C-alpha cells in the first residue's frame, strides 16, 4: 500500500494588511474598471450579477435588459456595486464598493458594448452616495 502524496508548502504566506483607499484613488480605479458586480435584493434575498460599468460624472452606469430581473429589482432602490482586482499569487489587490439609490439614465451616456449577448436596453445609474475602498497590501 502506497502512502498518499503530500506537497511541501513554501511556508506561511507573508503578512498582509488592509488600508483604506482615498476617494481620489477609488474614483481613478472605478474610471478604469470595465466590469463589476451589481448587488440588489430580489425576493427578500441578496442577488449579485456581473455587469459592465462606466463611471460618468457622479454615477456608475450599468446596462441591463428592460425585461431582466435586475431591471425589476434594482431600479429606484438602494443597490451596491462592487469592483475589485486581486492578485492571488502576490495576495495583493483592491476592492471598492459603491452604494446609492439607482435611477434610470439616458442610454446615450454609456456605449452598448456588453460582454454578454442579448438586449441591454435599460441603463441604470448608481450615484456615488457612499464609496468605500480598501487595498490589500504586503507588510
DSSP string, 46-115: EEEEEEEEEEETTEEEEEE-TTSHHHHHSSSSEEEEEEEEEETTTTEEEEEEEEEE-EEE-GGGS-S--S
16-138 folds as Pnp Oxidase; Chain A (2.30.110)
4 pLDDT exceeds 90? no
pLDDT average, residue stretch 25-54: 95
Per-domain boundaries in the chain = 16-138
- Taking residues 21-37, report their average pLDDT: 95
pLDDT in tens, 90-124: 999 999 999 999 999 988 777 667 666 667 788 99
pLDDT at 6: 47
Amino acid at each position: 500500500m502506497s502512502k498518499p502524496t503530500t506537497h511541501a508548502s513554501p511556508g506561511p504566506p507573508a503578512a498582509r494588511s488592509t488600508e483604506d483607499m482615498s476617494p481620489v484613488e477609488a474614483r481613478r480605479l472605478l474610471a478604469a474598471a470595465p466590469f463589476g458586480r451589481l448587488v440588489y435584493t430580489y425576493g427578500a434575498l441578496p442577488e449579485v450579477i456581473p455587469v459592465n460599468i462606466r463611471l460618468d460624472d457622479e454615477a456608475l452606469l450599468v446596462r441591463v435588459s428592460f425585461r431582466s430581473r435586475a431591471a425589476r429589482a434594482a431600479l429606484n432602490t438602494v443597490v451596491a456595486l462592487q469592483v475589485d482586482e486581486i492578485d492571488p499569487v502576490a495576495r495583493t489587490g483592491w476592492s471598492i464598493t459603491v452604494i446609492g439609490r439607482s435611477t434610470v439614465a439616458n442610454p446615450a451616456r454609456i456605449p452598448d458594448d456588453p460582454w454578454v449577448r442579448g438586449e441591454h436596453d435599460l441603463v441604470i445609474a448608481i450615484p456615488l452616495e457612499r464609496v468605500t475602498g480598501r487595498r490589500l497590501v504586503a507588510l
